[in-house]
Chain A
């Protein structure tokens, strides 16, 4: 008999990961927050668990304790963060830290620093009818340029939820560090399906003081550095990754986009995609 009151195994970029808890409170959260992840019967490579203690809850990865004693909702947020960490750890594809959206199977990736406006832009795109690929990672095969969705929840702050028109009652759990996990379904969107191909990299730079929108084409050499600097586990096989980044940069277009309002930026992205046909 299982030690867990709740357990689910999801396949994330080909990596089966179990999330489990000895308390049943996990179930409604998973139903709500992880509903766009793909369940699998495969044997998990790792188990992330939330375990109760007399004073609260801790998050674990297999038998390694990975958090202090926390309130349950905080331990859940920690578990979500560990889910991402372990996906990146075990993922066999090249993964770049980026928000990713698609239309008609054509993918635009938006790498950027934290606070650059990636998540808000992704959420706004999904609200505007783009398909959701990921809030966190561009995972792709650099030979075929085929992208694999990684539809973890989008983490956006309260202001961003208002900007994308999300009613407060739709927010699933108590915010952790002022961020809310939002699913594409919450935004009226869907997760991208079918063959997806990387076409462009757009570097978002949110600047509340920007007057309108500014777009500057990226040189391909800049694309190489952008792809590498945002690569997860960059130091692992780094020279091979350099070769791959050069190869990919020669096959895609790039744009730096400075904007104050995400909706304006989405219009530019629509224009970028229209240049590729279908």
Chain B
């Protein structure tokens, strides 16, 4: 299950208790915090830096920043958002990701060939939402989704990872990445559109 989320900075009582324990240096509190967020942090950091190993370093370095900042953490954002903000700042400073030289080969599934001159579907989308779960096993879908997300241009990948995979709100995503809501939406739309197109292709290919 996804960890508890706070909306717009409303304090989560469990989180408050966790923060108290962290401040007191409770080892098991640190253990559960690391278990809960470290893999996500590495995933998010990977969208900024050239390798998994560097992402791992950025995440570890972020943890030190978290320990250091805890006494001053005021709970105006959720703990997760706060941690991600530290992470993204460090990841940006580290940077070094090679700009993509090869264009993404998955399209958005919405080329001009899909619509008539009047703008209606030439061939309407085939219905697959009813039975996708029967056709594709969940781990299979997750692996394919990550594959496609990995191929997205960085900015789209960052937004969709934080928003849809990690479950941050749009406001939190903007806050963490330092982008406008409008920009966030455009990037999110492109990313989701491409992931949808991939799912459609897969369902067509495997579902027969």
Q: State whether these chains interact.
A: no
Chain B residues with CB under 8 Å of chain A are none
